[in-house]
């Protein structure tokens, strides 16, 4: 036999208060003005933390040739 504890409405509401979804925060690039998610590469420029990580032009050309 399993004895279950009673769930009050206030306890359930306190637990569910952490279930809210937060909107993702966007960052605006200072040089180009484009927006992207934080800690992610800007896919328009290929830049991350001020340095070139991906050559976007070469990536698009490679995709079109395949």
pLDDT tens per residue, range 1-52: 778 888 899 999 998 998 898 898 999 988 888 899 999 999 888 988 889 9
Q: Checking DSSP bridges between strand 51-52 and strand 47-48, what pairing results, if any?
A: antiparallel
Q: How many Cα atoms occupy the beta-carbon half-sphere of 27 within 13 Å? A: 13
Picking from 34, 39, 38, 24, the residue whose alpha carbon sits closest to that of residue 56 is: 34
- This model's pTM is above 0.75: no
Cα four-point dihedral sign 39, 43, 44, 45: positive
Q: Yes or no: say if 46 and 55 are a contact pair by the CB < 8 Å rule.
A: yes
User: Does residue 55 register a pLDDT over 90?
Assistant: yes
Look up residue 62 and give its two tokens.
């490679």
């Amino acid at each position: 036999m399993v004895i279950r504890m009673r769930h009050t409405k206030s306890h359930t509401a306190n637990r569910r208060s952490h279930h809210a979804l937060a909107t993702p925060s966007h960052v605006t690039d200072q040089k180009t003005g484009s927006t992207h998610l934080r800690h992610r590469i800007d896919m328009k420029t290929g830049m991350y933390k001020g340095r070139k990580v991906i050559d976007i032009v070469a990536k698009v050309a490679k995709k079109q040739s395949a």
